[in-house]
């Protein structure tokens, strides 16, 4: 079982709709959870992090964490073509390093 | 606002050649990391340095060596390149414990022929 699992996609969402990306993790001791956005040919860019149960909102982005279910999600409201990218879920558990999922490719269609 | 700087950006090597990938950060971070990214495999940790003077193996260390030269710099060396090492390499840095995430460099695209 992979430590951090994501559906690889592609996930296709119409412009203006809500995009929902999901991630599960295996280590119950995980402390912090991240969503990175990566455009093709570019490096990952941190867009959200969350460490307590519930929702965290930042502009059009909402991260949701459910530690009991070991589940993290990212909602993107009013999706724009510029949101088309690969989204990496990542988890910090211990030992000074972060484990990444393999990413979900999101495509926003006009 | 340089952040994390990687050199070179692109490199083509012949099988058996050696090279060093350079990484430097100007954020006074304690921890530094080397990842490789391959299609469908996500980011896999090669080596990391939790603090100056220490290095540890990650998930895929075989064929690589690292040096934490000082607090700013962390280099990755391929002693005898193999086609399986064709990948995009990212350096990253963080506070002592990366509870707030990493800052990534722009990456090095390496092809071994």
pLDDT reported for residue A95: 65
How many cross-chain Cβ pairs, A to B, lie less than 8 Å apart?
55
- Give the minimum alpha-carbon distance from B47 to chain A in angstroms, rounded to a whole number: 10
Query: Confidence band (pLDDT; 50, 70, 90) for B1?
Result: low
A73 in contact with chain B, both atoms CB, cutoff 8 A: no
Closest B-chain CA to A32: B99
pLDDT one-digit tens code per residue, B70-111: 999 999 999 999 999 999 999 999 986 677 788 999 999 999
pLDDT one-digit tens code per residue, A49-90: 998 888 999 999 999 999 999 999 999 999 999 999 999 999
- Three-state secondary structure along chain A? CCCEEECCCCEEEECCCCEEEEEEECCCCCCEEEEEEECCCCCCEEEEEECCCEEEEECCEEEEEECCCCEEEEEECCCCHHHCEEEEEEEECCCCCEEECCCEEEEEEC
The mean pLDDT value of chain A amounts to 92
Instruction: Inspect the interface and report whether the beta carbons of A98 and B102 lie closer than 8 Å.
Output: yes
Please name the residues in contact with A57: beta carbons below 8 A apart, sequence gap of 6 or more. none
In chain B, residues with a C-beta closer than 8 Å to the C-beta of A88 are: 42-43
pLDDT reported for residue A4: 93
A29 pLDDT more than 70: yes
In chain A, residues with a C-beta closer than 8 Å to the C-beta of B39 are: none
């Amino acid at each position: 079982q992979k430590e951090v699992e994501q559906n690889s996609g592609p996930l296709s969402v119409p412009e203006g709709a809500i995009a929902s990306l999901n991630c599960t993790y295996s280590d119950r001791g995980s402390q912090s959870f991240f969503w990175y956005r990566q455009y093709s040919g570019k490096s990952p860019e941190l867009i959200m992090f969350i460490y307590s149960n519930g929702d965290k909102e930042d502009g059009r982005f909402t991260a949701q964490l459910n530690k009991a279910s070991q589940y993290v999600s990212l909602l993107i409201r009013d999706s724009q073509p510029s949101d088309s990218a690969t989204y990496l879920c990542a988890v910090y558990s211990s030992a000074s390093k972060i484990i990444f999922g393999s990413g979900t490719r999101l495509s926003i269609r006009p | 606002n340089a952040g994390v700087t990687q050199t070179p950006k692109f490199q083509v090597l012949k099988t058996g050649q050696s090279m060093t990938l350079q990484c430097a950060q100007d954020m006074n971070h304690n921890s530094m990391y080397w990842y490789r990214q391959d299609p469908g495999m996500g980011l896999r940790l090669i080596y990391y340095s939790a603090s100056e003077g220490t290095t540890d193996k990650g998930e895929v260390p075989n064929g690589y060596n690292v040096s934490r030269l000082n607090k700013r710099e962390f280099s990755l060396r391929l002693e005898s390149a193999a086609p399986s090492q064709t990948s995009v390499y990212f350096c990253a840095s963080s506070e002592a414990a990366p509870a707030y995430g990493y800052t990534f460099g722009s990456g090095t695209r390496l092809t071994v022929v």
